[in-house]
Amino acid sequence: MKRFWDIIFSTVTYGAAFFTIAALAGIIISIISQGLPVFEKFGITGMLFGNEWRPVDTPPEFGMYPLIISSLLVTIGTLTVAVPLGLGSAIYISELAGRRTKEVIKPLIELLAGIPSVIYGLVGIVFLSPFLMKVLNIPVGLNLFSASLILGIMVVPIVSTMSEDALNAVPRSLREASYSLGANKFETIFRVVIPAAKSGIIGSFILAFGRAIGETLVVLMVAGGSAQIPDSIFDPVRPMTSAIAAEMGETVVGSMHYSALFGIAVVLFAITFLSNVVTELVFFRKKK
């Protein structure tokens, strides 16, 4: 009887693993097959480095460069907000806060991850955008800066939680050795603990990058939706994810515009896949 249940368990787990791999393969094959026609017609170089995204013009133009640049700029802005806040909170929780303070602050930070994306988007539209227009005297409140700020707050829990885990994994003996040599708390944290946990911390940054560049709803609502290369951080932009979400519902299935949106998905998948591979390599190095 025990042998029977072992076989059942092995079969179920093997089937689950195989299904996951098959699903991933199906997703990859489907987006590549749908996006291939536009690359064949306009060329990879023309698609990736074309400066105009005008899918409804005659003839249409499918230059993804403004969308790619917009995605990267929003992601960089997001990390500019999330990394200092996330790493700073992780250092405070792991190294400085008392037990009761940890029990309050840590759940509050993790609660940010549980708030739906649409709530962040609404906050950006209703509160942040009018505030920026009034304070900074800018014509458009939905722009690169707004999207980066809102998305940065969303990503803080990823950086904070993973960095804190990495800091907590540093052996206490390293801290005690540093104190025994005359180092103070500040020196111990920044010269001993953080360098020892750098693989996990860098991994959190890379994971946050992948999360930020793949976010759809917030950038769709807050980024402004203009397919252009911005001249300043207060210009509206249209990242790749928002272009797909905004245009897919109005596109004729099988058209070149439809294929171009899948072409964006191919580029986006390649970027996120590469970030995940780098993350795995970082954590593999840490384990090794």
Tell me, yes or no, whether 233 lies in a domain: yes
State how far Cα 124 lies from the chain centre. 18
Q: Is residue 242 part of a domain?
A: yes
CATH for 113: 1.10.3720.10
In a domain, 31, yes or no: no
pTM (2 d.p.):
0.88
Residue 49 falls within a domain, yes or no? no
100 domain-assigned: yes
What is the residue range of 222's domain? 54-287
Residue 22 located in a structural domain: no
Per-residue pLDDT of the chain (288 residues; tens, 9 = 90+): 667 677 788 888 888 888 989 998 898 898 999 998 988 888 888 888 888 898 888 888 888 999 999 999 999 999 999 999 999 999 999 888 888 888 888 888 888 888 899 999 999 999 999 999 999 898 888 999 999 999 999 999 999 999 998 999 888 888 888 888 888 888 888 888 999 888 889 888 988 998 899 888 899 999 988 888 998 999 999 999 999 998 888 888 888 999 999 999 999 998 888 887 877 776 665 555
- Is 28 within a domain? no
- Number of domains into which the chain is organized: 1
Q: What is the 3-state secondary structure (H, E, C) of 15-76?
A: HHHHHHHHHHHHHHHHHHHHHHHHHHHHCHHHHHHCCCEECCCCCCEECCHHHHHHHHHHHH
Give the Cα separation of 75 and 68 in Å (integer): 11
42 in a structural domain: no
For residue 260, the cross-strand partners are none
- Which among 69, 84, 112 has a CA at the least distance from the CA of 213? 69
Q: Cα separations (Å) of 60 from 7, 57, 183, 280?
A: 57, 4, 64, 40
